[in-house]
Amino acid sequence: MIVVFTMAITLWVIGHFMRAPHQARWIMIGLLYVGVMIIQVALPDGHPLREATGYSPQLWLLIGAAVGVALLYKRGLMAIRARTNPVSADPEPTKPGTFGTVELERYARHIVLREIGGPGQKRLKTARVLVIGAGGLGSPALMYLGAAGIGTIGVIDDDVVDNSNLQRQVIHRDADIGTPKVFSAEAKIKAQNPFADVRPYHRRLTEEIAKDLIADYDIILDGSDNFDTRYLVNRVCAALGKPLISGALSQWEGQLSVFDPQHSGPCYQCIFPQAPADGLAPSCAEAGVIGPLPGVVGAMMAMETIKLATDAGAPLRGEMLIYDALYGETRKIALKKRRDCPVCGTG
């Protein structure tokens, strides 16, 4: 029996280092259990394999029954919670573009705002927003977009949840370590707002898929952590006429802007003509970042999204907002187009 438990622990540890989801690890342990039961039933008494795996099938049946009871108890608790909170368990069906009673109550604080009202909330419900990256910036942005009632939320990221992410990527939990970030984010958004249609893409954004993917959405949020992706997203958004909300972080400082050259202002490459040399713009892993900073900037990105979707206020087109968390200062700077910009220039 010790051999079997050792094998189960080994499978779990291997799955951890391979960053396999918890569900996949439990499936492997379940297959190990089935194999042990086959050995116990099929082989005769005294067989070395049977002795190495516990001598008697009755003991394994008791262990399996105990695990089954625990799982049934857990499912029973979930069923009770679903009955006490039927809204989250089974959203009230509505026609496209309309609201049920539950949704009207949920978004009441938006609807009473003069700048949003019922028509603005309807625009949020029909809006399609793509978030690139489910990390520091994407985490708070996704949570607030889902809570605000954005109807369709796409999220693309090829990474999995790591322990080092949890200091700032608040959409993920300790139990999500090893799970693809897009699926972890999808679960949290749906748990908070079951009316949201969340579309996870567990892959890297590449030239081959960028145009088709971005074309399917109205507003793009870029929370990626590398310049290749930023320049790619900017090129495609400018070519398709999609507004791009871009945020960035470094240690204690964050910045964001809305790049929408089709309407006014520059594109991302107007302001950053080329990627900085190696070492001049270290990553968060190299330079560090204070935990709440992504929450501040990511929430601001969600705010700009809501403003664009509802046509409320003045989005940050042609402006960059810079937030210095260390000294509690916020400032804005004006941005101008470059005539010789290879993406949106006219020169």
Q: pLDDT digits over 94-149, tens only? A: 666 678 889 999 999 999 999 999 999 999 999 999 999 999 999 999 999 999 99
Q: How high is the pLDDT of residue 89?
A: 45
Which amino acid is residue 112, in one-letter code?
V
* Domain shared by 127 and 65, yes or no: no
What CA–CA distance (Å, rounded) separates 139 from 100? 28
pLDDT at 12 > cutoff 80: no
Percent of the chain past pLDDT 90, that is, above it, reads: 63
Q: Of the candidates 24, 58, 84, which is a domain's last residue? A: 84
Residues 318-333: pLDDT tens digits?
999 999 999 999 999 9
Q: How high is the pLDDT of residue 7?
A: 81
**182-217: b (≥16 Cβ within 10 Å) or e:** bbbbbbbbbeebebbebbbbbeebeeeebeebbeeb
**Number of domains the chain is built from:** 2
Backbone angles phi, psi at 112, to 5 degrees: -80, -10
Q: How high is the pLDDT of residue 39?
A: 77
pLDDT at 90 > cutoff 70: no
In a domain, 344, yes or no: no
* Domain shared by 56 and 120, yes or no: no
pLDDT at 314 > cutoff 50: yes
Q: Of the candidates 84, 114, 137, which is a domain's last residue? A: 84
pLDDT at 59 > cutoff 80: no
Q: What is the secondary structure of 238-287 as a DSSP string?
A: HHHT--EEEEEEEBTEEEEEEE-TTTSS--HHHH-SSPPPTTTS--HHHH
